[in-house]
Chain A
Amino acid sequence: MIEVEGLRKVFRTRRGPVEAVAGIDFRVAAGEFVGYAGPNGAGKSTTVKMMSGILLPSAGRVEVCGLVPYRERKRLARRMGVVFGQRTQLWWDLPLQESFELVGHLYRIPAADRLRRLRRLEEVLALGPLLPVPVRSLSLGQRMRAELAAAVLPAPQVLFLDEPTIGLDVEAKAAVRDFLGELNRTEGTTVILTTHDLDDITRLCSRLMIIDHGRLIYDGTVEALRTAYGTTRVLVVDLAEDEPLELAGAVPVRAEGRRRWFQFARDEVSAAELIARLLASNEVADLTLEEPDIEDIVRRIYRGET
């Protein structure tokens, strides 16, 4: 579905050339759900722009749906959906209903097909009551659901999403994620999700790619990332009394009142061993064990600590 080979993009700036994408290779098969992460300025959106035909590569090869994006931009546009979380693709001043009609005209969807598909989308995304409302009056969560419906109305083969859950509350995030997962499962839509929200990725993506300084530094499953890099765990202790506490084999990382956080490497000491030592020396009110947080892992990868 997507083939990228030796892809590079160099921007000329006043301070000299900047290599935003420094030669990346990957293939995405039809039906994959890929998370694309990386710190700001790592080259994420430059890659997505080259895949969607907005930007011409400096070197390398990119093909989406068997088309060369910048050369066959309009043909690709018919098979591709795009959602930018912070910008709207809808007609701001008009009732939502009209945006869907216009999308139908733009993508030449026969009216009967459009209505049938829209009825389903309305149901899944709970859009019914929003149809007569001007887009400008929708809440962010409502608007995001509408954006998704408009993007998938033409039944695209590939969907590029840029921060689709940014700024949404927990409930709206869940609605967006449920919809995307369902779409990927039932229609086999290939999805490339660019996001800072690693929760989106762990919940949705079968595969994670991490880009930094224009290079792919990780390409694999989320689970593999956790086992490969998540070597430390954290023991959280609530002491019965506020007293100094040292624990052999673990490093104190935080203290707040009677609560203490100890970090330890899983291959050096077991949690059971630590807890036994702790209970032998102190009176403990409560205990929890924190597994490596994917966010921490990715942050450490960004910082080059692994």
Chain B
Amino acid sequence: MAEPARVYLHLAAAAVRATARRPAYLAMRTLAAALIVVFEVAGVVLLVDRFGTIGGWRPAEVVLLFGLAFAGQGLALLFGDTLEADKVSQLVRRGTFDQVLTRPVSPLGWVLASYVDTRFVGRLLAGAGTVVWAANRAGVAWTPGRAGLAALAVVCAATIVFAVLLAAAGFTFVTVQGSEAVNVLVYGGQYLASYPMQIYGPPLRFLFVWVVPFGLAIYVPALGVLGRQGPPGLPAWLAWLAAPAAGAFLAAGGLAWRAGIRHYVGTGS
């Protein structure tokens, strides 16, 4: 494994060097990726502030959820941005993917490494900064355990976003046409799942926790960070399930990607 892994590091380093050749452009894109977090968070603050609290959560506590979600999204997009439907569709239509298949490497490894997009470091950092800021406003006393839970939430959220993108990419190999619907599902779903779970009725809550487990990945660990009790049926100790749930979701995404590749090699379209 060690030898092939080095190939992907070389590919990723080449991708980073390529973007670093235009530092001003990179800086602007990184800033833009970070500013999205600032604007979204400002929107949430303005909204929640009108009501005082949402489901018993104060604005700072809701913002903490969004910070975790955005940090996770940044981490996922750092590698997975190129898995977005329209980008995969371009890889296929331009014949780039055919060329990837003539290389002695894993196609997924190639795509992830060759299209590392460092601007999403901006979103990751902005998300992490939001978490720290919101935790302080909410009066969280940081302990290693709470920091660990926050990190767990970020990694699990990233895993789920990545898994959804992976599945969507697999799907795009079949449809070829990039579909905006997938983006709506990924980002819209993540946005909705970033509000405290108790504001949703049982069906939606079930969906966000057990089907697309954003709630399990973000909301449940955040309960621990904030020292809160969850609503009935969602105790804080469920955080232990976040990693296995995200892992299972990733495995499903991986299967969808492989099915997509198999379809592509079968039909070439």
Quick check: B101 and A105 within 8 Å, CB to CB? no
Quick check: B99 and A87 within 8 Å, CB to CB? yes
- Segment 30-78 of A: residues with Cβ below 8 Å from B: 46, 49, 52-56, 70, 73-75, 77-78
Quick check: B101 and A54 within 8 Å, CB to CB? yes
Q: B168 CB to closest chain A CB, in angstroms?
A: 22
* Complex Cα gap A108–B7 (Å): 9
* Complex Cα gap A264–B217 (Å): 82
* Complex Cα gap A105–B6 (Å): 8
Could you say which residues of chain B place their CB within 8 Å of the CB of A221? none
Quick check: A102 and B14 within 8 Å, CB to CB? yes
- Residue of A with least CB distance to B11: A102
Quick check: B101 and A98 within 8 Å, CB to CB? no
Could you say which residues of chain A place their CB within 8 Å of the CB of B19? 93
B10, B18, B96: the one within 8 Å of A105 (CB): B10
A56, A80, A107, A108: the one within 8 Å of B266 (CB): A56
Q: Given that A94-B14, A98-B14 are known contacts, is A74 also in contact with B105, CB under 8 Å in the complex?
A: yes
Q: Which applies to chain A's interface (DSSP): helix, strand, loop or mixed?
A: mixed
Quick check: A70 and B10 within 8 Å, CB to CB? no
Most buried by A among B14, B17, B19, B21: B14
Quick check: A56 and B265 within 8 Å, CB to CB? yes
Query: Is B98's CB within 8 Å of the partner chain A?
Result: yes
Quick check: A106 and B103 within 8 Å, CB to CB? yes
Q: Given that A74-B104, A102-B11, A105-B6 are known contacts, is A89 also in contact with B99, CB under 8 Å in the complex?
A: yes
Quick check: B14 and A11 within 8 Å, CB to CB? no
Quick check: A12 and B96 within 8 Å, CB to CB? no
Q: A241 CB to closest chain B CB, in angstroms?
A: 56
Q: A187 CB to closest chain B CB, in angstroms?
A: 20
Query: Is B269's CB within 8 Å of the partner chain A?
Result: yes
Quick check: A70 and B99 within 8 Å, CB to CB? no
Could you say which residues of chain A place their CB within 8 Å of the CB of B10? 102, 105-106
Quick check: B101 and A73 within 8 Å, CB to CB? yes
A99-142 interface mask toward B, CB cutoff 8 Å, 1 = contact, 0 = none?
00010011110000000000000000000000000100000000
Quick check: B104 and A106 within 8 Å, CB to CB? yes
* Complex Cα gap A53–B11 (Å): 22
Could you say which residues of chain A place their CB within 8 Å of the CB of B268? 11, 46, 49, 54-55
Quick check: A84 and B99 within 8 Å, CB to CB? yes
* Complex Cα gap A50–B268 (Å): 10
* Complex Cα gap A62–B62 (Å): 60
- Segment 165-203 of B: residues with Cβ below 8 Å from A: none
Could you say which residues of chain A place their CB within 8 Å of the CB of B17? 94, 98
Could you say which residues of chain A place their CB within 8 Å of the CB of B7? 105-106, 108
* Complex Cα gap A6–B197 (Å): 60
- Segment 99-126 of B: residues with Cβ below 8 Å from A: 99, 101-105
Could you say which residues of chain B place their CB within 8 Å of the CB of A93? 18-19, 21
Quick check: B267 and A52 within 8 Å, CB to CB? no
Could you say which residues of chain A place their CB within 8 Å of the CB of B104? 74-75, 77-78, 106-107
- Segment 245-269 of B: residues with Cβ below 8 Å from A: 265-269
Could you say which residues of chain B place their CB within 8 Å of the CB of A74? 104-105
Query: Is A82's CB within 8 Å of the partner chain B?
Result: yes
* Complex Cα gap A161–B95 (Å): 15
B21, B98, B105: the one within 8 Å of A49 (CB): B98
Quick check: B99 and A12 within 8 Å, CB to CB? no
* Complex Cα gap A134–B18 (Å): 10
Quick check: B6 and A87 within 8 Å, CB to CB? no
Query: Is B94's CB within 8 Å of the partner chain A?
Result: yes
Q: B3 CB to closest chain A CB, in angstroms?
A: 7
Could you say which residues of chain B place their CB within 8 Å of the CB of A70? 265
Quick check: A11 and B103 within 8 Å, CB to CB? no
Query: Is A261's CB within 8 Å of the partner chain B?
Result: no
Could you say which residues of chain B place their CB within 8 Å of the CB of A218? none
Q: B193 CB to closest chain A CB, in angstroms?
A: 37
- Segment 218-269 of B: residues with Cβ below 8 Å from A: 265-269
Could you say which residues of chain B place their CB within 8 Å of the CB of A78? 104
Which A residues are closer than 8 A to B by beta carbons? 11-12, 46, 49, 52-56, 70, 73-75, 77-78, 80, 82, 84, 87, 89, 91-94, 98, 102, 105-108, 134
Which B residues are closer than 8 A to A by beta carbons? 3, 6-7, 10-11, 14, 17-19, 21, 94-96, 98-99, 101-105, 265-269
- Would you list 23 pairs from A and B whose C-beta atoms are within 8 A, ordered by A residue? A46-B268, A52-B102, A53-B101, A53-B102, A54-B98, A54-B101, A54-B102, A56-B266, A70-B265, A77-B102, A77-B103, A82-B99, A84-B99, A87-B94, A87-B95, A89-B99, A91-B18, A92-B18, A93-B18, A94-B18, A102-B11, A106-B105, A107-B104
Query: Sorted from nearest, which 4 A-B pairs have the closest CB atoms?
Result: A93-B18, A77-B104, A105-B10, A82-B102
Known contacts A53-B101, A75-B104, A77-B104; 15 further A-B pairs (Cβ under 8 A) = A11-B268, A52-B101, A55-B265, A55-B268, A74-B104, A77-B102, A77-B103, A89-B99, A91-B14, A98-B14, A102-B14, A105-B6, A106-B105, A107-B104, A108-B3
